[in-house]
Structure 1
Amino acid sequence: MSDFWRLFFSIIIALPLTFLTLPAHSSPILITQITASDFLELGVDKMRRGDYQEAIENFNQAIALEKNLAVAYSDRCLAHLQLQDYHQAIADCTQAINFAPDNFEAYLNWGVAYYRQRDYSAAIVDHNRAVTLKPSDFRAYYNRGLARAGDGKDSEAILDFNLALTQIPRISSLLLADIYNDRGLAHFALQDIQAAMLDFNLAIRLNANDYRAYFNRACACGRYGDDFGAVRDFSQVIRLNPSNAQAYVNRGVAQYRLGYHLGAMSGDKLLRIYADLQKASEYYGQQGKKVAYEKTLDLLKNLRQQISSVTEVALF
């Protein structure tokens, strides 16, 4: 699940820059003093460009000029979130709320910071406050749904995702896809595979390039015993995200089960499965995922023995 849009949308636009103008006649040019609002807008522009450290410097300048400027703390929180400095992000949101207790954006960002730290209970508290302040804003419901799902409260998460769907602008197809995908995961956690499958289908229909929805639908297919569907969707994941090691492992497992169900596990099919597992081990090694890497090596070892056995039988 990507939450950058939630963070980006919560940037508060500052006042326009004061432009310098030339007088009509030759007289001294007046240099307008740079204000906190000017630095604030510069920081917002840097955020949009992805220059988060530069944005922080601009927000620092705004705060130096106006220490109780709540929006500067709230926006600086966003930059710290992007840099994964969650401790500082929480500190900034705390300051923003101290100066503006009804700052919706600060509560929203505060909740995201706690969510990123996996402190789901604290995130839920902040999003509760955000919902109270702006009950018509889908972001508060969606974020609270994510926190509730993280906390294992999947039934409550589904209720929040439903509320988010009633509030979100219908033109936001990519955002809708995210919500359906996350609601599908909550249904999946509750063992309601049919409802999960419907949500993953909707997510894919709205965003055909989201590899996560294909991955989740592949897992649902596997739970249903539809190994053909699982292989199909894991193949889509690999096409969209070629370094996804889990997709290679799971496609190999699905092909292995499929071969045995059909009673046709040939040497060629075992070699294709072996290629998937080998690719997975390479990516796990590159990504530093030691446990997954070692488990995949064990699978490869067992599969090599089976390939040898099938080859020996074929030779005779």
Structure 2
Amino acid sequence: MAHCFHRLILSMGVLAALLLVWLMPVAIASANSSLPEDSKTALHQGVTAFQNGDYPLAAERFTQAVQSDPGYASAYSNRCLTYLELKAYQTAIADCTQALTLNSANTEAYLNRGLAHYRLHEYEAAIADYTELLKLKPYDYRAHYNRGLAQIDRGTYREAIVDFGEALRQTSPLDRSTMAEIYSDRGLAQLLFNHPQQAIADLTQAIQLNSNHVGALYNRGCAYHQRGNNIAAINDFTQVLQRVPNHAHAYLSRGMIRYEQGAQSRAIADLQQAAQFFQEQGLMLPYQQTLGLIEKMRSPSIAFG
């Protein structure tokens, strides 16, 4: 089991960054004055329920709006966003597709359908939706950012780096939280693309914008290790553990580096902590793998795989 350069570990940065999608302003369409009164009332009620976090009620009200007027594009678009929150991704795709059939210039429907495809691991379809959105709004940083995430999971890291660069250029420098997430994910793409020095630069930017960005700290530790700077790597993993004391992967990575340095007892102590937290978190495969590593450390005659 590789300790730092491991897709499962590194992908934690991506998963955390996905929260950015929900922190961005969402477009809840309002009622058109020419629509039937029942449709407008149902839409208004759906918007209110959505804003209050009552997604089942919002879906019900948007459905009433659609039933009152089957050609109501905004109701389909809003219900698509609601189904995203309810994790009903196939249904969300169907609603966004209907919204686009009724209004092909609905950029939010492309954005939300792309996210639904992404959550279903349909990366090609997600990328296609974000690309269509960018044809309509070339400077929509959300589309570049989300397309970059899909490019990472598709394994096209060079394209992801380009998209994150565009997202950074289109984001307000005053929005430090968003900038930190984009730098963090571009750093991840650089690391996966075997550009550790560029990764370190991006991840350092993310940390400067948000000193508590655990994903950036962890991935920078991986980048330092890839560059052969084990002192800096251990320092970053230690900082991660100061912020998240049960971060099993940080214990695992720090322990493996300490073993490389010949500090066997400290390495085993770190791996024992990693195993404990993996077990507590229900991650049984890495738990068993970590126990195997401990056994190998205690039996020098057993070669590491």
TM-score of the superposed pair, with normalisation by structure 1: 0.81
In the alignment, what sits opposite 1:3? Answer: 18
User: Shift of the alpha carbon at 1:137?
Assistant: 1.2
Is this contact kept in 2: 1:10–1:105, CA < 8 A? no
- Corresponding pairs, count: 282
**C-alpha spacing 1:51/1:236, structure 2 compared with 1 (3 Å):** farther
CA distance in 1, matches of 2:246, 2:57: 31
The one-letter code of the counterpart of 1:98 is T
Q: How many percent identity over aligned positions? A: 41
Maintained 8 Å contact 1:12/1:71: no
Note the residue ranges of structure 2 that are not aligned, 5 or more in a row. 1-13, 301-305
8 Å Cα contact 1:185-1:196 kept in structure 2: yes
Relative to structure 1, the CA distance from residue 8 to residue 89 in structure 2 (aligned partners, 3 Å threshold; closer, same or farther) is farther
Report which structure shows greater RCO (CA 8 Å, sep ≥6): 2
Contact 1:158 1:186 in 2 (8 A): yes
Distance in 1 separating the partners of 2:137 and 2:192: 29
Call closer, same or farther: CA 1:189–1:4 in 2, change over 3 Å: closer
Which deviates the most, 100-109 or 186-195? 186-195
Task: Give the structure with higher Rg (CA).
Answer: 1
Which one of 294, 297, 300 corresponds to residue 300 of structure 1? Answer: 294
Structure 1 alignment gaps of length 5 or more = 17-32, 307-316
Secondary structure of the equivalent of 1:243?
coil
Q: Distance in 2 between matches of 1:43 and 1:228?
A: 54
Tell me, yes or no, if the aligned pair for 2:30 and 2:74 is still in contact at 8 Å.
Answer: no
* CA distance in 2 between partners of 1:34 and 1:301 (Å): 71
Name the CA shift for 1:80/1:247 in 2 (closer, same or farther; >3 Å).
farther
1:110-259 to 2 correspondences below 5 Å: 110-258=113-261
The runs of 4+ residues in structure 1 deviating greater than 6 Å are none
Aligned with 1:286 (options 271, 280, 283):
280
- Alpha-carbon distance in 1 for matches of 2:86, 2:132: 25
Mapped contact 1:15–1:38 kept (Cα < 8 A): no
Question: Contact 1:7/1:78 (CA < 8 Å) preserved in 2?
Answer: no
Once the two structures are TM-superposed, the CA of residue 88 in structure 1 deviates from its matched residue by 1.5
Q: Which amino acid aligns with 1:105?
A: E
- After superposition, what is the alpha-carbon deviation per residue over 1:14-73, rounded to whole angstroms, capped at 9, x for unaligned? 448xxxxxxxxxxxxxxxx97434443443444444433333223223323333222222
Query: In the aligned structure 1, how far is the partner of 2:223 from the partner of 2:280?
Result: 28
The TM-score, its normalising length taken from structure 2, stands at 0.84
Rounded Cα–Cα distance in structure 1 between residues aligned with 2:28 and 2:226:
46
Report the RMSD for the aligned CA atoms in angstroms.
2.4
